[in-house]
């Protein structure tokens, strides 16, 4: 794994966690989706949450971002116990989530998507109107900071590549003051080049002091940018490792339950 350090910025982040999840459980009827997951995220770090399909990653981040309410367990934001009733609560607490398929409406313009739900207004009630000039200007500026040069503010998100869409969503979250950014499989549908762009964006955001939660089942992408790695398997955390303490093979084993995968890899002749 020579690419490990490509996007890495130095020592691990220290300080108190911004968000702390303790022993989170979530049941859907008789189905136990999460059975005691603990996780925390600090400013300026990228904490990777790894797990195979069905491990509970999605349920866990949806709990963190206010979509699901935990059945049991404690959640703290900057030391205070919180209970989110909706995604809006989580957002107000500084937790922003970028879902792979639910981040943007492709047919709408970049500006509309960027400001969706938080459209800037001007004027006095009842004549408060959208401030479209300001919306366009800010969007263009934020996009060019992230290295995306739009043809114009009205360009539809659908004309951007997958990586660029992720970047728009990330830029939006950061602009609106996210302290913690949850990225749900941001690289899983992308090509190699697009993946690099997204990983570079993550690094940029982390350097601004945002805590990034990077969900993935791709160990290589995680190792390229992560500071800490937590593996989830069948609704439970198998442990958290710091950068340098684990290698790709170990993480892969933890995610998939080890032995069977090793046999598979043997027959395929390489690391998956």
Partner 1 sequence: MSLAADTPVLPALAGARRLAARLGPLLALALLAVLGMLASPAFLSAENLMNVLTRSSIIGIIAIGATFVITARGLDLSVGAMAAFTAGLSILAMNGLAGILPALPAAILGLAAALAVGAGAGAVNGTLVVKGRVEAFIVTLGTMGIMRSLVTWLADGGSISLDFALRGVGRPLYYGTVLGIPVPVLVFALVAIAAEIAMSRFRFGRHVTAIGSNADVARYSAIPVDRIRMATYVLQGVCVGLATLIYVPRLGAVTPSTGMLWELEAIAAVIIGGTALSGGHGRVWGTVAGVLILGLVSNILNLTDFVSPHLNGAFQGAIIVIAVFLQRKRG
List interacting residues with partner 1 (CB under 8 A): 65, 67, 87-88, 91, 97, 99, 102-105, 107-108, 112, 116-119, 121, 128-130, 132, 147-149, 151, 159-161, 163-164, 167, 197
Residues with Cβ within 8 Å of 224's Cβ and at least 6 positions away in sequence, in order, are 3, 4, 6, 7, 8, 199
Hey, what are 217's tokens?
């089942």
The residue whose two tokens read 């939006």 is 172
- Closest-CA residue to 91 (of 162, 185, 181): 181
Whole-angstrom distance, CA of residue 47 vs CA of residue 152: 35
Tell me whether residue 102 or residue 264 sits nearer to partner 1 (CB atom).
102
User: How near is the Cβ of 85 to partner 1 at its closest, in Å?
Assistant: 12
User: How near is the Cβ of 59 to partner 1 at its closest, in Å?
Assistant: 15
Whole-angstrom distance, CA of residue 110 vs CA of residue 140: 9
Tell me whether residue 105 or residue 264 sits nearer to partner 1 (CB atom).
105
Hey, what are 31's tokens?
């189905």
- Closest-CA residue to 98 (of 111, 108, 113): 113
Whole-angstrom distance, CA of residue 236 vs CA of residue 245: 20
Tell me whether residue 10 or residue 117 sits nearer to partner 1 (CB atom).
117
User: How near is the Cβ of 56 to partner 1 at its closest, in Å?
Assistant: 19
Tell me whether residue 10 or residue 126 sits nearer to partner 1 (CB atom).
126
User: How near is the Cβ of 155 to partner 1 at its closest, in Å?
Assistant: 8
Q: What is the DSSP string of 125-170?
A: TTS-EE-HHHHHHHHHHHHHHTT---S-TT-BGGGS-HHHHHHHHH
Tell me whether residue 98 or residue 219 sits nearer to partner 1 (CB atom).
98
User: How near is the Cβ of 128 to partner 1 at its closest, in Å?
Assistant: 7
Tell me whether residue 42 or residue 68 sits nearer to partner 1 (CB atom).
68
User: How near is the Cβ of 10 to partner 1 at its closest, in Å?
Assistant: 25
């Amino acid at each position: 794994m020579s690419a490990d350090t490509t996007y890495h910025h130095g020592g691990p982040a220290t300080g108190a966690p911004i968000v702390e999840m303790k022993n989170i459980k979530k049941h859907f009827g008789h189905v136990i989706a999460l059975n005691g997951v603990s996780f925390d995220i600090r400013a300026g770090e990228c904490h990777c949450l790894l797990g195979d399909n069905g491990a509970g990653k999605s349920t866990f981040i949806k709990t963190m971002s206010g979509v699901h309410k935990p059945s049991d367990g404690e959640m703290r934001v900057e030391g205070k116990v919180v209970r989110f009733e909706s995604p809006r609560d989580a957002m107000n607490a500084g937790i922003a989530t970028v879902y792979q398929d639910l981040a943007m409406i492709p047919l709408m313009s970049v500006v509309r998507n960027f400001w969706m739900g938080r459209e800037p207004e001007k004027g006095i009630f009842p004549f408060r109107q959208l401030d479209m000039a300001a919306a366009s200007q800010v969007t263009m500026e934020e996009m060019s900071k992230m290295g995306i040069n739009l043809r114009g503010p009205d360009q539809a998100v659908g004309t951007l590549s997958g990586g660029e869409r992720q970047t728009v969503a990330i830029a939006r979250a950061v602009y609106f003051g996210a302290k913690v950014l949850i990225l749900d499989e941001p690289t899983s549908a992308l090509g190699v080049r697009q993946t690099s762009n997204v990983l570079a964006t993550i690094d940029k955001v982390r350097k601004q002091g945002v805590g990034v939660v990077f969900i993935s089942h791709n160990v290589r992408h995680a190792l390229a940018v992560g500071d800490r790695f937590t593996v989830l398997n069948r609704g439970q955390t198998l442990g958290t490792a710091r950068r340098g303490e684990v290698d790709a093979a170990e993480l892969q084993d933890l995610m998939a339950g080890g032995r069977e995968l090793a046999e598979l890899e043997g027959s395929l002749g390489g690391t998956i």
